[in-house]
Structure 1
Amino acid sequence: MGSILNNRSVLTLGLVIVGYGMLISILTGLGMLNADSPAGVTIFMFSSMLVMMATGFPIAFCLASVAIITAWVFQPALANMLLFQFKEFSLESGKTLIAIPLFIFMGFVLHNSGIAKDLFDAVYLWSGRLKGGLGMGTVLICAVMAAMIGVSSAATLSMGIIAVPAMLARNYDKRMATGIVQAGGALGFLIPPSIMMIMYAFVAQESVGRLFAAGLMPGLMLATMYIIYIGIRAHLDPTLAPPIPEDQRGDLKEKLAALKFLILPFLIIFSVLFCIFTGITSPTEAAALGASSALVSAVIRGKFTRQGFKDSLLRTLSLSGFNAYIIIGAVTFSAVYSGLGASAIIRDTVTGLDVNPWVVIIIMQLSFFLLGMFLDDIAILFLCMPIYVPIIKALGFDPVWFAVLYVVNMQMAYITPPYGLNLFYMKAVAPKEITLSDIYRSIVPFLGIQALALVLLLVFPIIALWLPGLIFDYYQLILNPDLLMSKLGAVLDYPDLYKVFIDNPAMLFDAGNMASILSNTEVANQLLATPDFSGFLLNNADFAQMLKSDDWLVSIPPMDSFLLGNPQFLAAHPEIGALLQ
């Protein structure tokens, strides 16, 4: 055995040396082996990464090794600077990442307390005579588990163990059954609390709450598209997904009894998201609340065991540690790439191109899809986003919307051969009669549905941006009027916000605030053209008093034209009219 291992190690080392030798020779011949050549740096780093991955090394070590080797080859002094790249991972900035193990732990505690089995039992009883009902219910279970766990693997493995055998026993087509679970399991990327969204928030410095809200509607849309597809296929060909036999359908009493075990888990999910969306707590604090509540729920339901608690801790540690290694490797890789100036040159080149910005967006989507066939989603995030997000902002696109596009791409990557992880999760738990070929074929229609969802999100960004705008740009301002002065642009999207000014006259009739409103011409014109708002101004004595005491406001457009258009007001206040002469 030792001889075999040594031979493999020697072969691996030989492959690495030969690969690097060929790569350096090619770049040297092309005159690109210098730090001033962004193309040379790019080719060297990404080709090196493929060489290292071909040896079977873990992706985290491949990324870090390539970074160090690249630094030595192109700019040796940069290797000594790598440690300083992690200065951003301070206790303060790392608070966002702390939410990740807490959400994972919450999910595994709920999972080990039997929530997946309870969900399936409830769906099984309620699906009844509906053709494809069991498959549709499985999609709903995956969506709910996504909201509890935030990682794809748990839903895929759980439903692979519970739902697939149950569907096969009810004469479901094996490809239909496995495809439903794999596609449904990937919903954990989109539906909050999504671990991937938290990591994107850390890299792009965006609000976790906004990202969670942005992923909710697309996630529900995608789940609905799956359900519609299953319903149509089952209607056209009932042999693919037949209804539950008559003798196995429960009565109303049994159906209601099956729901009682779901109350606590649903309350936990709702409480966590409510705290985040309303700003009552930070995402990390909400995650801590969810983790502790999950433990309480397990105790109340009588499902808390020492072994389950230990298993939840170990699986949380394993998954969090795996993510941490990927982050360290990817950040090191990105740090060297940026340190050599390649990322800045690429950003400047792309933003300076005379092409339609949508062409850039589409190319980025294709790069996500291609990279997703070979790299881990976390690695892609930390490699691409430091380059892509500044480009997106420079082109005038919303980075929150772009996050949703990225996550949908990662969903596709998780069920795309040859290396989609959900394919291998399913193979690990599927019955023996289901082959890898069956699993590969099963995802084709669902991959098409995901591609359609991506196109819809590209064409209609409002699908992703409607809910975060409503929560954080409307209701948050209704609840916190003082924030409106710093977010005046929200009035253009939500005209009803004029009522905030009316309800807070002290804020409106402050001269400094009024000057800020008038300086934003679009906002001022919209407000002054709103009859209720303009009527409130003209009939309020505080408005006239403000103009008299701070007469410089009278001459600021569009206030001057507004006053001239209301001669009755000027007649009632001749001293203000005199200022306009």
Structure 2
Amino acid sequence: MRKEVWFGLSILIAIVIGLFVLMPSPEHMTNGHLGLLMLALVVVAIMLGFPTAFTLMGMGVMFAWFAFYSRDPNLATQQTLDLMVQRAYSVMANDVLISIPLFIFMGYLVERANLIEKLFKSLHIAMARVPGSLAVATIVTCAVFATATGIVGAVVTLMGLLALPAMLKAGYSTQLSAGAITAGGCLGILIPPSVLLIVYGATAGVSVVKLYAGAFFPGIMLAGLYIGYVIVLAKLKPSVAPPLSAAERHVDLPGFAEKISTTISNNVLPGLLGALKGRRNADVPTRTLLQQLGIALLPALAFALAMGLTYRMVTSPEAAPVEIMEMGVGAEDLGGESTSLNDGFGEPPAEGGLSEPPSEAAPMAQSGGGEPKAAAPSAPAEAAAPVTTAAPAAPHAKAAPTSYWIAFGIGFAAMVVFYAFFTFARLEIFKMLLGSLFPLAFMILAVLGSIVFGLATPTEAAAMGAFGGIVLAACYRRFNFSMLKESAYLATKTSAMVCWLFVGSSIFSASFALLGGQEIINDWVLSLDMTPLQFMILAQVIIFLLGWPLEWTEIIVIFMPIFIPLLPHFDIDPLFFGLLVAMNLQTAFLSPPVAMSAFYLKGVAPAHVTLNQIFLGMMPFMAIQIFALILLYMFPAIGLWLPQVLYN
């Protein structure tokens, strides 16, 4: 029997033995103990292969009936059915879940359009001079593609078919190749737009927009740590990741580029500008030269556009403060003129009868020929005068801060250096990236930017992302009705699974709370008198261990409702806790012996690549994930800075 089967059976046996040892005798068993029994049985049933959603629903309905029957046997059935309907309707009424099928549909469109092959080849050539270039290109491709799809199995499987044979052929270590593919494929769990963050937000009641903003920098940090590890390892041990030969780094130039680079200059800007002068472009059409010059100037135009928009933002005048004042109240604060006007509104002294008011109130009398009645109509007009004259002046534009000019200087210097080394070979690589990486990256950034900056809700951004996936597939001439139909079918299938999981988990959590299982866990945790750090370590260890036998969806929908009520006691932000959980589940996906990424890769790997080699390759990347988890906990600003800047 295989080792994995023995491991699974040993876990099941340990759970069953633990139930018999820890549970009290039937005569001393309370409803709370029944809740804990239900939780253990759900884990056992899922590990035995029963469908998660229907297992949750079945266990929840059965134990909810027991809870209601212990209170009122006559109404137990009716109350159980009411609970099912209410919980199912609450899931249907959750607007956040609408974005899940749209993001999944966008991911399947990008996957079925087969854009990953072109993306990997262009990144491979662009990073040819970087140590461990193939592994680095694999991680970057996985990060971009995982961000676009969010489907770990699809990314690992496709990269296993595409990148693993290329790395093995180039002499890369099997362990490093397998680790780069499996670790990079799991980045879609953390980097937005992640379906996991949507599910966690709907479960924990946390804003998905803030979760996306918070997960952005931790995801980039984790991908950067992967790339740094590969570069250092390739530098220290070239035999593990040998550099590419000159022939493999060679880029074929088109005919016009060959002529210009040999006759005028190998640098793009001097070469193209020189070819446009006089008779030198006799063999190259002017239209071709202008097109290539326009492509070459795109980075400069993008820099100018970005700095121009930034300048407009940092120099825009602040809104002038508006002070609302009630008529005739507080006018004494407006100065002497205002005071005299306020005196003019007063009644003449009573002892004078109908005689003219005293000379102190002369401002009223002067406008009406000395008659009090003539003074009254002019008073409101004169009283309004200070309001008009006190209007604030038009706000002036602010001066750009020093930090903007520093950033502008650094960017300008970078542009100068970039174009100083911008050869025709690099222009061809840039055009490859322009046709593979940039459209996909632009679509992803547009979706994320519209969510993070409040331009669109996650659902609206997901709809635009799905439409962008269709447009992208059409631009690459991969769009057809068959692909659209298949993508829609797979998105519907996956979305139905996630929604049924929500219904099942909602019924399960209601039943668990009804039985009092949550209270027993709360009392037990609080009785330990733990510090917030100790509780955080305990929670993350439990989640890590649960990642062995369970999928992330099951961990989120089953166990997060147990942890979330405990967070206020330890003064832990649910947003920060969610970021830690998302990064922890990355580790759970790579931890043997039940690492799903390893089995995805093994299914498409050559026969000589063993499962143990894949597990050994994942170990260093799992250590990097644990290090990143510690960094995120020690420096919470990595995840919380962007949400605080944008939304506080």
Tell me, yes or no, whether TM beats 0.5.
yes
**What does 1:26-425 align with in structure 2 at a 5 Å threshold?**
27=23, 29=25, 31-35=27-31, 38=32, 40-76=33-69, 77=76, 79-86=80-87, 89=90, 93-249=93-249, 250=251, 251-262=425-436, 263-347=438-522, 350-351=525-526, 354-425=529-600
Q: Tell me which amino acid in the other structure corresponds to 2:64.
A: A
Q: Give yes or no for contact 2:123–2:433 (8 Å, CA) kept in 1.
A: no
Distance 2:80 2:550 in 1: 24
Shift of 1:134: 1.2
C-alpha distance 47-208 of structure 1, shift in aligned 2 (>3 A): closer
How many residue pairs match? The answer is: 452
Aligned-residue RMSD, C-alpha: 2.4
Distance 1:22 1:446 in 2: 33
Distance 1:455 1:192 in 2: 21
Shift of 1:381: 0.9
Larger radius of gyration between Structure 1 and Structure 2: 2
SS at match of 2:567: helix
Q: Give yes or no for contact 1:327–1:378 (8 Å, CA) kept in 2.
A: no
Q: Tell me which amino acid in the other structure corresponds to 1:65.
A: G
- CA-to-partner distance for each residue in 1:214-263, whole Å, 9 max, x for gaps? 11111111111111111111111111111222101123243122112233
Q: Give yes or no for contact 1:127–1:244 (8 Å, CA) kept in 2.
A: no
Distance 2:16 2:572 in 1: 39
Provide the residue aligned with 1:433 in structure 2: 608
Distance 1:128 1:51 in 2: 49
Q: Give yes or no for contact 2:47–2:549 (8 Å, CA) kept in 1.
A: no
SS at match of 2:456: coil
What percentage of residue pairs aligned between the two structures are identical?
35
Provide the residue aligned with 2:278 in structure 1: none
Shift of 1:419: 1.9
Distance 1:335 1:308 in 2: 40
SS at match of 2:130: coil
Q: Give yes or no for contact 1:146–1:192 (8 Å, CA) kept in 2.
A: no
Deviates more, 1:59-68 or 1:184-193: 59-68
Q: Tell me which amino acid in the other structure corresponds to 1:206.
A: V
Shift of 1:352: 6.4
Q: Tell me which amino acid in the other structure corresponds to 2:426.
A: L
SS at match of 1:443: helix
Provide the residue aligned with 2:643 in structure 1: 468
SS at match of 1:397: coil
Shift of 1:26: 8.3
Distance 1:246 1:161 in 2: 25
Distance 1:22 1:212 in 2: 39
Distance 1:186 1:331 in 2: 27
Q: Tell me which amino acid in the other structure corresponds to 1:34.
A: T
- CA-to-partner distance for each residue in 1:386-422, whole Å, 9 max, x for gaps? 2222321332111111101111111111111222211
Provide structure 1 residue ranges, at least 5 long, that are not aligned to the other structure. Answer: 1-15, 474-581
- CA-to-partner distance for each residue in 1:244-294, whole Å, 9 max, x for gaps? 221011232431221122332222112111111111111100100110121
Q: Give yes or no for contact 1:215–1:404 (8 Å, CA) kept in 2.
A: yes
Q: Select the structure with the greater relative contact order (CA < 8 A; seq sep ≥ 6).
A: 2
Q: Give yes or no for contact 1:85–1:335 (8 Å, CA) kept in 2.
A: no
C-alpha distance 252-27 of structure 1, shift in aligned 2 (>3 A): closer
C-alpha distance 369-26 of structure 1, shift in aligned 2 (>3 A): closer
Distance 2:159 2:517 in 1: 44
Q: Give yes or no for contact 2:88–2:503 (8 Å, CA) kept in 1.
A: no
C-alpha distance 400-26 of structure 1, shift in aligned 2 (>3 A): closer
Q: Tell me which amino acid in the other structure corresponds to 2:475.
A: I
SS at match of 2:603: helix
Q: Give yes or no for contact 2:91–2:502 (8 Å, CA) kept in 1.
A: no
Distance 2:550 2:645 in 1: 35
Distance 1:55 1:194 in 2: 28
C-alpha distance 25-169 of structure 1, shift in aligned 2 (>3 A): closer
- CA-to-partner distance for each residue in 1:362-382, whole Å, 9 max, x for gaps? 111111011111122111111
C-alpha distance 21-390 of structure 1, shift in aligned 2 (>3 A): closer
- CA-to-partner distance for each residue in 1:399-446, whole Å, 9 max, x for gaps? 111101111111111111222211111111112221111112211111
Distance 2:161 2:16 in 1: 44
**What does 1:432-451 align with in structure 2 at a 5 Å threshold?**
432-451=607-626
SS at match of 1:215: helix
Q: Give yes or no for contact 1:34–1:74 (8 Å, CA) kept in 2.
A: no
Shift of 1:55: 3.5
Q: Give yes or no for contact 1:129–1:246 (8 Å, CA) kept in 2.
A: no
C-alpha distance 114-54 of structure 1, shift in aligned 2 (>3 A): closer
Q: Tell me which amino acid in the other structure corresponds to 2:29.
A: L
Q: Give yes or no for contact 2:531–2:570 (8 Å, CA) kept in 1.
A: no
TM-score, structure 2 length as denominator? 0.66
Provide structure 2 residue ranges, at least 5 long, that are not aligned to the other structure. Answer: 1-11, 70-75, 252-424
- CA-to-partner distance for each residue in 1:10-57, whole Å, 9 max, x for gaps? xxxxxx9xx99996898462644321xx3x234412331244235332
Distance 1:62 1:401 in 2: 30
Distance 2:556 2:567 in 1: 14
Q: Tell me which amino acid in the other structure corresponds to 1:33.
A: M
C-alpha distance 377-27 of structure 1, shift in aligned 2 (>3 A): same
